[in-house]
Each structure stands twice: as C-alpha cells, then as structure tokens.
Amino acid sequence: MKNLFSILALGLSLSLYAGHHEEGEKDASMHENNFVYISTYTQPAGGNPERLKKSLLKNLDTLEANGYNACGMLRHQFGGGRSFLTYCYFDSWEQFAAINDSNNPIAGDGPRQLYGDHTDKLAAVAVRNLTKQTPYVLEAKYSFGPYLTDNERRANAKKLFDAYDRAFGGCNMAEHVWGPELTWNFYCGYDSYADFANKVAVLMAIHEKELADTKLDVLDHSDHLMTRVER
C-alpha cells in the first residue's frame, strides 16, 4: 500500500506499455488496461477441482459483465499449493470505483464457497511485452529489502525482468499497488515444456553472465508454472 503514490505517479507512463494487448482479449483495442486485478485460489482437501474451475469461470463472466475489461484464468501445475489464478484488467481507478460502487455486498445466502484460501492483488501493468495468449505461463514473483527506496526496488526488479524478457521473447511485469504482497510479478509465456527448456537455458546463461554477482537485495522469490484455462 505504501507504494500507491509512487505507482500513481507513473500513471501517464504506463499507457506506453498498455498499447500492447494479448491476442484473443475481448475488445482489447478499446482499453488501456493500465491495471490488473489478480486473484488466487486454493483447492480444499477433498474438493473437486473441476467444480471449482467451472465456478471461477462463471465468476469471470460476471466480472466482465460488471465492467472489467478482458479477464482470464490460469491453473497451477508446479511451484505452489494454489490451484487457480484469475485476472481482470481495468483502465483506471475511476473505472474500478464505478464497478465496485455499483455492486451489492456479497449476501450471506450467496453461492457456497468451493475454494480454500483466497487472495486478491491490485497491480499496475508496468511492462507489457507478452502480446499473445500462450498455453503455458510462468509467474515469477520478487520482493526486495525494506531498507531500499521504492525506486531502488523498482530498478532491481527491472534488472531481473530484463533477463526474463529477453530469454522468453517478451514478458509482462506487474507492480504492486494494493494487496498482501509488495511484489513485482513477471508473466512469461511458453508453448510447450520443450519450449520452456530452451528458454530456461537462455535465462540461466544470462543469469550466470550478468546477474550472478549483482547485489539485488532480493527478500523473497517464488515461481509458479501454470496452464491457461480456455473459456
């Protein structure tokens, strides 16, 4: 949350990156997609993942009907206990306010909760170089030392992101605005695990040559390999 004002100060520059949209997004040319609403869900023990998937897909239809731009869903394969990740783009905080002020609070007699844990994150789209919807997506998350300034953390995130961006041939970067994790999230696509292996080899070479001796003050890091859920 403490990053909010520095993020909003970047609002004008974000439109530079928002001109790139994934193929297949609904009416992408009509939107700037400067911000993204990211939700993650875990599968409770004994739950049916297909039932949860159908429920979340239905929720995405509702979110788009409520006024969000393009939405999508990813399913976790490797890297963590989370089952699904959903995302919806929006152009501005005015659009976000219009959506949420027009909706009633969730009623106590609403649909039964099918997921275990759930987290939400609102992030600024800082770089958007992944311009097609790939069947697989890598999410790499980084946080940095609390003793760094916002701009120092941002600079370190950009150094790491540049390596992923070059290795995968174009990635997206989202920067924390609101939510439980003050992280920079990278999203990179790949067409198969053979393609992933080739891109990882490039990434490892860049790391050893350019980053292995660089002090980046990484506080925490996690990776998640996911598949795209067709709608």
Q: Specify the residue for token string 């152009």.
A: 91
SS3 23: coil
Structural domain for 108, as ranges: 4-228
Strand pairing class (118-128; 35-42): antiparallel
Gap between the terminal Cα atoms of the chain: 32
Using CA atoms, how far apart are residues 6 and 167, in angstroms rounded to an integer? 29
Q: What is the pLDDT of residue 51?
A: 85
Using CA atoms, how far apart are residues 216 and 86, in angstroms rounded to an integer? 29
Give the residue among 150, 139, 217, 152 at the shortest CA–CA distance from 185.
Answer: 139
Instruction: Give the rounded percent of residues in the chain with a pLDDT score beyond 90.
Output: 67
Using CA atoms, how far apart are residues 189 and 170, in angstroms rounded to an integer? 8
Q: What is the pLDDT of residue 199?
A: 98
What is the per-residue pLDDT across 79-115, written as a single tens digit (0 to 9) for each?
666 689 999 999 999 999 999 998 765 544 455 666 5
Q: What is the pLDDT of residue 13?
A: 37
Q: What is the pLDDT of residue 221?
A: 96
Q: Consecutive sets of 10 residues in the chain, 231 residues long: mean pLDDT of each?
A: 41 38 53 94 76 90 94 88 88 96 59 69 96 95 97 98 98 96 97 98 98 97 95 87
Q: What is the pLDDT of residue 225?
A: 96
What number of residues does the chain have? Answer: 231
Q: What is the pLDDT of residue 117?
A: 73
In one letter, which amino acid is 221?
A: H
Q: Which positions ≥6 away from 162 have C-beta within 8 Å?
A: none
* CATH number for the domain harbouring residue 135: 3.30.70.100
State the pTM of this model.
0.83
Number of domains in the chain: 1
- What region, left, alpha or beta, does residue 170 occupy, with left being phi > 0 and alpha being psi -120 to 50 degrees? left
